[in-house]
Amino acid sequence: MKLTRFLFFLAILSAVFRSVLFAQDTVKAKFTPPVLMSTLRLGIAGMSHDHVNGILNDYQQGKVIIVGIAEADKALRAKYQEKYHLPDSIFFDDLKKMAVTTKPDAVLGYNPVAKHIDVVEICAPLGISVMVEKPLAATLAQAKRMEFLALKYYIKLLTNYETTWYPSYQHVYNMASKDSIGRIRKMVVHDGHQGPKEIGCSKEFLSWLTDPELNGGGVLIDFGCYGANLMTWLMEGQKPIAVTAVARHFKLNVYPKVEDDVNILIEYPTATGLIEASWNWPFSIKDLEVFGDKGYIHALDRSKITTRVNDNVINANITNALEAPLDNPVTYLQLVLKNRLLGINDRSSLKYNMTVMQILDAAKRSIAEGKRIVL
């Protein structure tokens, strides 16, 4: 009888032990650690640009490494610290102190466009590469100083555009470069939305985005830069021969200091580009049209494509994401820092973005002087 009870007890104990092991294995199977997107040790300069949410979300998910954030605005820091559960240890009031203390591999700028130059002034002498949110600078003079510093101290100075990571835009470029539609004759870019205030941009972002000094202008800088960047890319870095621009101010009560609608005509030796940028669209829009001798390609958004060649119209959806590491600004940045021969002739490169700044500067002068500006 005692032996029977003992064996029964052993059977129950064994079953319990097996169930515990099974539960542990199940937990292990369900838990998938985050994939580290990049091994770069990143520093953040400023938090007033709403695009900072993207990198902070990646940090919260364990995809990127952020070693320091330089932001003097305590209220802004508290806002993001609570939202993304950021530790006190990574915050600094001063960019130079953050850079010297944490020694990041690169610094990402999420501060006002006119302050991008301050980031480069500090980071370049320390040998720290910089990637800023579009555009490169608020003025051409600032851009020239930034270029000088980048070349003097051998750092990479890159500019991040949302559209760089659109699979549809890469498809347009690939088709055009393969001569599938013939020589490019006309490019049309529409960019913008209902307005930064209307779509709910943060008060910190609005405070400088609608300031002519801190942003360098209004929608001309905010969205005109996209078209200038894409056309420079499609034209393989070729500089235009002339720029003509017209600015409108429809929302004086909402944006009293800056233009909210602009059209820019860009002349190349063999093609014409038209940029239509506005804070007055009835919906958010980022699209790209390219007309060639033999056909037409239209990227309606980040995935939808319409192609027309010899009256044959094909509508497609580009479901394949861009190939890593060229599918994300951080992984792209890491690749560029590993291979110094990369990042020289592309949408993020300093060379192409100096041309972008020349186009924007010419557009400003055209608006101010009311005439065509020959470059």
CATH class of 163-374: alpha beta
Contact 66, 39 (CB under 8 A): no
Structurally, what CATH architecture does the domain formed by 41-161 represent? Answer: 3-Layer(aba) Sandwich (3.40)
Angle 43-48-53 from CA coordinates, rounded to 5°: 70
DSSP per position, 201-267: --HHHHHHHT-TTTTSSSHHHHTHHHHHHHHHHHTTTPPPSEEEEEEE---TTT-SSS-SEEEEEEE
Cβ partners under 8 Å of residue 331, min gap 6: 37, 38, 324, 325
**Predicted local distance difference test score (pLDDT) of residue 16:** 42
The full length of the chain comes to 375
- 10-residue averages of pLDDT along the chain (375 residues): 47 47 44 76 98 97 97 97 97 98 98 98 98 98 98 98 97 92 97 98 98 98 98 97 98 98 98 98 98 96 95 90 91 94 94 98 98 97
Token output for 173: 């470029």
**Predicted local distance difference test score (pLDDT) of residue 324:** 87
CA distance 177 to 158: 23
**Predicted local distance difference test score (pLDDT) of residue 321:** 83
